[in-house]
Amino acid sequence: MVTEQQARELLNKLQDPILHKTLEETNGVLEVKVKEEKSHISVRIALAKTGTPEQLQLQMKIVELLKEAGAKTVGIRFADLPEEELEKHRAAGDLSEDGSNLLSPNSKTTFIAIASGKGGVGKSTVSVNLAVSLARLGKKVGLIDADIYGFSVPDMMGITSRPVVNGTKINPVERFDVKVISMGFFVEDNSPVIWRGPMLGKMLNNFFTEVDWGELDYLLLDLPPGTGDVALDVHTMLPSCKEIIVTTPHPTAAFVAARAGAMALRTNHDIIGVVENMSYFESRLTGEKEFVFGQGGGDKLAEELRTEVLGRLPLQQPDWNEDDFAPSIYDAEHPTGRIYQEISEKIIATLNK
């Protein structure tokens, strides 16, 4: 059975995947405990960036390394390197300061996931319109259609072109000043995606690392409904992601949406607020509002998640322009477009606090 000292020596030779320095150089091996009677080793490792795919790869290396050394079972906990340790490597130029990698510790991009508990509540409609509204307010915005099974963003935004490969990177498609990437760009004739969880996670990681996003203020992610594999991958890859929960006023929709909110809170994601979609139908003739799906669902959800209702959107469709067709995008002067702008202003104000 390997000793504690031998285990430390083995671990010290491994590299921090972000700094590309050995764990000995970064003082990354925080703790090693050996239980000889059970042939078990538990270790605690500090990294420059946790919650990344690279961390998972390192975790697999550690398990393999220690089992080859004689351990039957291995327990691993990860922590963030202390700020003073990171400063040493910034000073030495080991950390890139350009923030070009969205998953790097220095990225200045704010990630905002748009989530819902169930399908059919208008989550993707909210996602594309918030992205466009933020861009209209002068922000540099990207949008990932992370609903890999139910991708719809390209169609909603009226996108007919496809991404272009430039060297080793993919250029996202730009529409309404929003940079967009979607699984829909990589399938033919609206074919179904029949993949299992690990393949979905790999594609999602490629959207972050293989796409040339340039400088972004905000990157929005249109998540699949519910709390499945893709949503979990996002929570793992982006530990500092913000979230907006979309619901309708109907009590059942709000009840189910609470699960998505609970998942965000358990993974330390900050919930910016709730958007209540399909809040009412307003007659163009009389101006009278009818609460088709009831009232109070958004307020109850916000109370349960200890956040606020960012806005209430009516049951309505945009005015279509046949010359520049985008079936789900509201014009800036449309009444609903103005509501989206108000929501976007609240988001910016909240994130700048």
161 in the same domain as 69: no
Q: For the chain, what is the domain count?
A: 2
315 in the same domain as 288: yes
Domain CATH code at residue 316: 3.40.50.300
| Domain end call among 91, 126, 144 | 91
Within-domain flag for 104: no
Within-domain flag for 23: yes
Within-domain flag for 96: no
217 in the same domain as 87: no
187 in the same domain as 82: no
pLDDT at residue 99, as a whole number: 44
193-238 tens-digit pLDDT: 555 555 656 777 778 888 889 889 999 999 887 655 666 667 667 7
Within-domain flag for 100: no
61-101 tens-digit pLDDT: 899 999 999 989 999 999 989 888 887 876 665 655 444 56
- HEC string of the chain equals CCCHHHHHHHHHCCECCCCCCEHHHHCCEEEEEEEHHHCEEEEEEEECCCCCHHHHHHHHHHHHHHHHCCCCEEEEEEEECCHHHHHHHHHCCCCCCCCCCCCCCCCCCEEEEEECCCCCCCHHHHHHHHHHHHHHCCCCEEEEECCCCCCCHHHHCCCCCCCEEECCEEECEEECCEEEEEHHHHCCCCCCCCCCHHHHHHHHHHHHHCECCCCCCEEEEECCCCCCHHHHHHHHHCCCCEEEEEECCCHHHHHHHHHHHHHHHHCCCEEEEEEECCCCEECCCCCCEECCCCCCHHHHHHHHCCCCEEEECCCCCCCCCCCCCCCCCCCCCCHHHHHHHHHHHHHHHHHCC
Within-domain flag for 66: yes
281 in the same domain as 195: yes
Within-domain flag for 9: yes
205 in the same domain as 281: yes
157 in the same domain as 26: no
Within-domain flag for 105: no
- Provide the domain limits for residue 209: 110-351
| Domain end call among 91, 120, 152 | 91
178 in the same domain as 47: no
> pTM for the complete prediction?
0.69
257 in the same domain as 129: yes
